[in-house]
Amino acid sequence: MKKLEIKVETFSVNLDAATAGRNDRDPATGAYRLHVCANIEADEEFKNLSANDLKARGFPSITLTERLLLGLTFFIATDRNGQPDADERHLDRDNTTLCAGSRRSDGFVPRVSWDRDSRKACVDWCSPDYFRSGLRSCSVVS
């Protein structure tokens, strides 16, 4: 049996606490099934749309917890018999996923990207009105 080691660095923010009670779906309130986009990059159809735009149009969006679990699942599923880690094993290589299904207490929205230089998945926050072509949400069906 292969041993899986995951290195988690200390965050200055507790991500669970930051979005507690402000997620469209939350596993803490019970199990649910979710179908997520099967792309390396978030959905191109959602480029140039802010979290507020997506909400106003009724598009269900991925939460921060779901995106982090999706990234971990993809990383594990693309293991090549213990070969060294490579950028190909990560989501959001060229764009950033807007986790519009989650909010912080001030209304800011988490976004997740892969930083090739530091070789880390990065979480930061943006205004719910912020948009750009490289910032895209991922549609979900629950």
pLDDT above 50 for 10: no
- pLDDT given for residue 1 in this prediction: 39
Residue 40 structural domain: 33-79+89-141
How many domains are contained in the chain?
A: 1
Residue 37 resides in a domain? yes
Q: For 65-119, write each residue's pLDDT tens digit.
A: 899 989 988 888 888 776 666 667 888 989 999 999 999 999 999 999 998 888 8
Give the integer Cα–Cα distance in Å for 111 and 126. 7
In a domain, 123, yes or no: yes
In this prediction, residues 47-73 reach a mean pLDDT of 93
Do 100 and 130 form a contact (C-beta atoms < 8 A)?
Answer: no
Q: Is the pLDDT of residue 3 over 50?
A: no
Q: Report the C-alpha gap between 8 and 80 in whole angstroms.
A: 21
Task: Note the pLDDT of residue 67.
Answer: 92
